[in-house]
Amino acid sequence: MPHLVLVQPGAAHVRADGALWIDSKSTTGFTAYAQRFPGQVTLLVDADPAPPPVEEGVAWVDPATLAVAVDLGGATPQRLRELRADVALLPMTTGRTELIGAARRSVVVAEHSGRSRYEMALAGGLTGLDRTRARLGFARWGRQMATAAARADAVQCNGWVAWEAYGARHRRGLRFYDHRLPGSLIDTAAATRSAAPARSGPLRLGFSGRLIPIKGPRYAVDLATELARRGVQASMTLYGWGPLREELADAAGPTVTLRGLVDFATTWVEEVTHEVDIMVLPYVQSDPAGTYAESLGVGAPILGFDNTAWRGLHGESGAGWVSPARTAAALADVVERLAGERGEIIAASRAASAFMRAHSLEAEFDRRVSQLVELVR
* pLDDT tens per residue, range 39-72: 999 999 999 988 888 777 789 999 999 999 999 9
Cα separation, 257 vs 285, whole angstroms: 24
Distance of CA 224 to the CA centre of its chain: 25
The total of other beta-carbon atoms located within 10 Å of residue 273's CB is 20
129, pLDDT greater than 80: no
> What is the three-class DSSP state of 93?
coil
Helix (H) or strand (E) holding 4: strand 3-7
pLDDT range class, residue 198, cuts 50, 70, 90 = confident
pTM beyond 0.85: the answer is yes
Check the CA dihedral 264-61-69-149 and report its sign: positive
Average of pLDDT values for 315-338?
97
> What is the three-class DSSP state of 136?
helix
Class of domain 3-177+361-375: alpha beta
Cα separation, 263 vs 237, whole angstroms: 15
Check: CB of residue 309 under 8 Å from CB of residue 159: yes
Tell me which amino acid residue 199 is.
Answer: R
199 vs 341, which has greater pLDDT?
Answer: 341
- What percent of the chain lies above the pLDDT cut of 90? 84
Is 3.40.50.9100 the CATH number for 183-357?
A: no
Check: CB of residue 230 under 8 Å from CB of residue 262: no
Domain with CATH 3.40.50.2000 in the chain: 183-357
User: What residue spans of the chain are helical by DSSP H?
Assistant: 24-36, 77-82, 114-123, 128-151, 160-165, 183-195, 217-230, 245-251, 269-275, 290-297, 308-317, 328-339, 342-357, 361-375
Average of pLDDT values for 280-291?
91
Q: What is the predicted pLDDT for the residue at 187?
A: 98
377 vs 238, which has greater pLDDT?
Answer: 238
How far CA 309 is from CA of 41, 60, 289, 360, in Å, comes to: 31, 33, 8, 18
Which 3-state string (H, E, C) describes 282-315? Answer: CCCCCCCCHHHHHHHHCCCCEEECCCHHHHHHHH
125, pLDDT greater than 80: no
Q: In what order do the strands lie in the sheet with 154-158?
A: 69-71, 40-44, 3-7, 87-91, 105-110, 154-158, 173-176
Name the average pLDDT for the chain.
Answer: 94
Q: What is the predicted pLDDT for the residue at 285?
A: 85
Q: What is the predicted pLDDT for the residue at 357?
A: 98
- What percent of the chain lies above the pLDDT cut of 70? 100
